[in-house]
Copies of this chain bind each other. A is one copy, B any other.
Amino acid sequence: MTHIAQMLETHPAATSSGVDRSVLLQCIEACFDCAQSCTSCADACLGEQQHLDQLVRCIRLNLDCADVCETTGRLVLRQTQPDWSVIRTQLQACVAACRACGDECQQHADGMGMEHCRVCAESCRRCAEACEQLLAALPA
């Protein structure tokens, strides 16, 4: 069991929110995973000397998506007295950031064979899906 899963299980509010634990956990882990992939992809693109000028928009979106996913992960991770309206809008922002960044990365994976962009696109897609699943499971 990951440390995040153990933290959720030992949290004093663990059973109070009514949100399915596995949906919650998948979203948290996908957000942090995507934040890290995007931080790394921005840096990997910056190291692509021959193609750097074609990767400017990708780096920009990677940096934004990393910040958005990190913040979203922190909000969803916190279990004490959640404000669902705040969490809901942040999850929507995260879906938008992951869709935009994932699409951009996929283009460079397909067009230039950029392997780090392919991995990052996968992280972005999984995170967008996990956020959408949590959005569907949140209390009204």
Contact = CB atoms under 8 A, between A and B. Distances in A.
A9 to B, nearest CB: 8
Given A3-B37, A78-B60, A47 B83 contact: no
A80 B44 CA distance: 7
Contacts of A80: 43-44, 46-47, 56, 60
Given A52-B53, A53-B52, A122-B3, A44 B81 contact: no
A108 to B, nearest CB: 12
Chain A at the B interface: mostly helix, strand, loop or mixed?
Answer: helix
Interface in A96-121: 96-97, 100, 115-116, 118-120
Contacts of A11: 40, 43-44, 47, 116
A97 B47 CA distance: 20
A71 interface: yes
B115 A40 contact: no
20 contacts: A3-B37, A4-B36, A6-B119, A7-B40, A10-B44, A10-B118, A13-B47, A39-B74, A42-B63, A44-B79, A46-B56, A57-B81, A63-B63, A64-B78, A64-B86, A70-B71, A85-B100, A86-B97, A90-B97, A93-B93
